Amino acid sequence: MTPEDRASLHAAVFRNTAKDSAWIGYWLARHQQTEDLEEEALAQKLGINVDNLILLCLCRTPRTDHFLEDLKVVCQRTGASERALAQVLKQEQVLHRPDSSRPASTVGFLMAASDRPEEQSEPSDDR
Amino acid sequence: MPEPFDWRTLAADWFPHEEAVVAILRQHYPQASTDALHDAFVQGLLEGAQSLRYRPEQGTVVNFLVGCARRCLRMLVRSDTASRQRDEKKGRKVVADKTASARDVLDALADTDLAQIARDQSARTLEERRYLVLWEQGIDDPAQVARALGVEHLEASLQEAHRKRTHDRIMKRLTRLPERCTGEGPGP
């Protein structure tokens, strides 16, 4: 595959998964907008390369009532950091809720300042 | 698939089939751009993975994905063509009203095997089948149509007359297909 074809295919994945909240790509696209991140920077934040970022976009958004279980499956498949992805998803799902009520879940909830470096005392459920 | 799949990562698991699927799509739609092919593949992949309709005993994953992607590509190509036609200058000829109703017949059958039967019944000769392929893809470039009909040696006015006769013949058969299916109207 030529670099141009690869770029075209990647763009198609980003574009089409960004249309439907059923796919993780939707939330990652919003996070890119929120944080003004390019794909490479987003991939780095999640601990993966761009090829695995593409696969991550194609995974289903973790269900609210099975969040940790679904998150684990998706991260095992793509190599993404569970903690980093959970933070991204929770941040964007809060920002895009129709009302301002806070969710009961505490996963990643306190990390409002997303550009801070990761702290050392976090739960060790990363890959 | 050799192993039980996980619905949460199914689209990601099927993604590596991209090259095989796009190669097949390109054979059926040689005029489609790479971007359109990739869009169709991804849209078909997402629809197919979300639907959970795939059954290994019915065929390969590649064939399943090709089917999903072909439907998406037909819509994409028509949408692109319609958009270009709207932007063109007033001198361009307008697609006849009957075209929309004839396309509706194939669109309505797009998800079933009847679509191929409809094609076989409406386009009987090789030239008619070639013309129908271009028409389904939304391609009405006079030079390509003339090549498909084998009349590129004729002057432009005769080419157009030949095209119109072929077009009218196919559309007449297409619009009468629902009558035949319900037993109403004359037979083939």
Higher pLDDT, A42 or A122: A42
What is the token pair recorded at B38? 């990739």
Record: contact B38-A17, CB cut-off 8 A: no
pLDDT of A64 higher than 90: yes
Q: Which residues of B touch A (CB under 8 A)?
A: 6-9, 11-13, 15, 18-19, 34-35, 38-39, 41-43, 45-46, 49-50
Mean pLDDT of A63-68: 96
Average pLDDT over residues B41-48: 96
User: What is the token pair recorded at B82?
Assistant: 């319609």
H helix intervals, A1-127: 3-17, 24-35, 39-46, 50-57, 67-78, 82-95
A125 has a pLDDT exceeding 60: no
Contacts 24+ apart (CB under 8 A), A7-14: A8/B34, A8/B35, A8/B38, A9/B18, A9/B38, A9/B41, A9/B42, A10/A39, A10/A50, A10/A54, A11/B35, A11/B38, A12/B35, A12/B38, A12/B39, A12/B41, A12/B42, A13/A54, A13/A57, A13/A58, A13/B42, A14/A39, A14/A54, A14/A57
B110: tokens are 């797009």
Give how far B1 is from chain A: nearest CA, Å.
17
Q: Pick the residue of A20, A51, A59, A63 with the most B CBs within 10 A to test the interface with B by mutation.
A: A59
**Is residue B110's pLDDT more than 60?**
no
**Distance, in angstroms, between A11 CA and closest chain B CA?**
9
Q: Please name the member of A8, A15, A60 whose beta carbon is closest to the beta carbon of B8.
A: A60
The residue that leads in pLDDT, A58 or B169, is: A58
Of residues A8, A22, A70, nearest to B38 (C-beta):
A8
pLDDT at B83: 66
B108 or A96: whose pLDDT is higher?
A96
Q: pLDDT digits over B120-153, tens only? A: 667 767 778 888 888 887 778 888 888 888 888 8
Give the per-residue pLDDT at B149. 87
Condensed to tens digits (0 to 9), the pLDDT of residues B3-29 reads 568 999 999 999 999 999 999 999 989
Q: Give me the mean pLDDT over the A86-97 stretch.
A: 90
What is the distance between the alpha carbons of residues A88 and A93, in angstroms, rounded to a whole number?
8
First CA to last CA distance, chain B: 43
d(CA A120, CA A126): 12
Cβ pair B12:A11 closer than 8 A: no
Question: For residue B187, what pLDDT is reported?
Answer: 43
Question: First-to-last CA distance in chain A?
Answer: 30
Of A16, A55, A70, the CB nearest to B39: A16
Q: Which residue of A has its CA nearest to B13?
A: A55
